[in-house]
Amino acid sequence: MEDYIVIGCGFAGAVVARQLAEKGKKVLILEQRDHIGGNAYDEKDSHGILVHKYGPHIFHTEKKRVFDYLSRFTDWYGYSHEVVGKVGDKLLPIPFNLNALELVYGKEKAKQLQKILEEQYGTEVKVPILELRKDKRPEVWQLAEYVYQNVFLKYTMKQWGKAPEEIDPSVSGRVPVFLSRDNRYFQDTWQGMPKEGYTALFQRLLNYPGITVQLSVPAEKVLSFDRESGRVYFEGKEYGGTIIYTGAIDELFGCCYGRLPYRSLDFVFEYYPEEFYQSHGVVNYTVSEDYTRITEFKRLTGQICEGTTIIKEYPRNYTGEAGQKPYYAIQNKENQALYEKYKSLAKCFPRLYMLGRLAEYKYYNMDAIADRALELAESLY
């Protein structure tokens, strides 16, 4: 019998499994999908273009430990992510920065605004748009209002299906004005794409004695929990090992307290027989269109091939229906209180650990969840 059962084979599950296996433990990974890699899974489409099945995943980190760790399993393509937002006939750098300022206001007025902003907030800093909107000086308020209306407001409403004031500040606070001419979306020291793709990275990560992966196995089909005794059953027999769960915590317990709200995404892939479709890897549609953004994969991966494939993203509420995936926790006080009930329920089982975006009902970047998985594994040695 395995020492550990890990539910889910994304970054959280795969990293923790590898670490435990390297310590001589036997680990069984159960994945409900028919592939490894979780949402980071990539594959070649019918045109031979490497695409990310669940939307773009760009690796970036300030965590040297994580970069060094993942570098054991992949070489890197040195990609620096740049995003633009389509506002009318303009493509503005996202986050809105000093270059965007010039595109909107012209050089002279932009220079004046830059001086005012840098005197107040400093240089090479990201100022949250909601903070700028509190500035009483007319010229700053007008700038903030322009960014708010054209970059933030409609995009946020599309993304979350809510008005901005309904969203937790930790979410709206991610949208800044960047007092810099650095057009990169991330300023992290290490950033890029796995040279052969994420799936190849996962294949190497999981290729270790002691790791067994079973695909197309929903956890609820093989695991059951007795709250009164704190016992866990695997395939009908009591299981005495440790379980690390990376799926949706409410679904693990049959949504017994009600379903935790998430946002989901519908993806539409399109192929074009031309070299490139757009000027950047990602173009955000901050004002127009029902979709939030278009990603062009060749610009992310550097792949050289005929034609190009793009993906459009349409945000939706997650309902739990077949084929839907929960992507983003909708964080507010009410939802957090519901999550805490499930968290307390999970604590009835002393050898059950929650790990990851869905299990912990919070947002993690890829590097952060890899780091969290490393930490959890270390605590279990």
Give the domains, in start order, of the chain with CATH numbers: 4-42+66-80+195-260+329-380 (3.40.50.720), 84-178 (no CATH)
DSSP helix/strand/coil, 177 = strand
Query: How high is the pLDDT of residue 265?
Result: 97
DSSP helix/strand/coil, 172 = helix
Query: How high is the pLDDT of residue 163?
Result: 73
- Estimate to the nearest angstrom the gap between the alpha carbon of 103 and the chain centroid: 30
Q: How far, in Å, CA of 190 to CA of 187, rounded?
A: 9
Burial of 319 (0-12, 13-18, 19+ CB in 10 A): exposed
Which residue, 291, 330, 295, is CA-closest to 314? 291
Query: How high is the pLDDT of residue 167?
Result: 62
Q: How far, in Å, CA of 315 to CA of 53, rounded?
A: 15
- Per the CB < 8 A criterion, the answer to whether 20 and 3 are in contact is yes
8-state DSSP, 108: H
DSSP helix/strand/coil, 136 = coil
Weakly modelled stretches of the chain, pLDDT under 70: 164-165, 167-174
Global confidence as pTM? 0.94
Q: How far, in Å, CA of 149 to CA of 142, rounded?
A: 10
Query: How high is the pLDDT of residue 58?
Result: 97
8-state DSSP, 236: T
Query: How high is the pLDDT of residue 1?
Result: 75
- Per the CB < 8 A criterion, the answer to whether 10 and 372 are in contact is no
Angle at 306 between CA 300 and CA 308, to 5 degrees: 45
Q: Which two tokens stand for residue 62?
A: 């300030």
Q: How far, in Å, CA of 215 to CA of 304, rounded?
A: 32
Which residue, 46, 4, 8, is CA-closest to 369? 8
Q: How far, in Å, CA of 39 to CA of 46, rounded?
A: 20
Look at strands 237-238 and 231-234 and give their pairing. Answer: antiparallel
Q: How far, in Å, CA of 219 to CA of 32, rounded?
A: 7
